[in-house]
Amino acid sequence: MHALSIQQPWAWLIANGHKDVENRTWPTNFRRTFLIHAGKKFDLNGYQAVQQLIATKNLPIVLPARSAFDLGGIVGAAEVHGCVTHHQSLWFFGPYGFLIRNAEPLPFEPMRGQLNFFQVKT
In a domain, 21, yes or no: yes
Q: For all residues of the chain together, what is the average pLDDT? A: 97
**How many angstroms separate the CA atoms of 85 and 95, rounded?**
6
The reported pTM is 0.96
Q: Quick one: which of 31, 34, 32 has its CA closest to 77?
A: 34
In a domain, 120, yes or no: no
Domains in the chain, number:
1
pLDDT (tens digit per residue) in 89-100? 999 999 999 999
In a domain, 119, yes or no: no
**How many angstroms separate the CA atoms of 42 and 24, rounded?**
17
Question: Per DSSP, what are the bridge partners of residue 12?
Answer: none
In a domain, 97, yes or no: yes
In a domain, 78, yes or no: yes
pLDDT (tens digit per residue) in 62-86? 999 999 999 999 999 999 999 999 9
In a domain, 43, yes or no: yes
Per-residue pLDDT for 40 more than 80? yes
Residue 79 belongs to what domain range?
A: 2-62+70-110
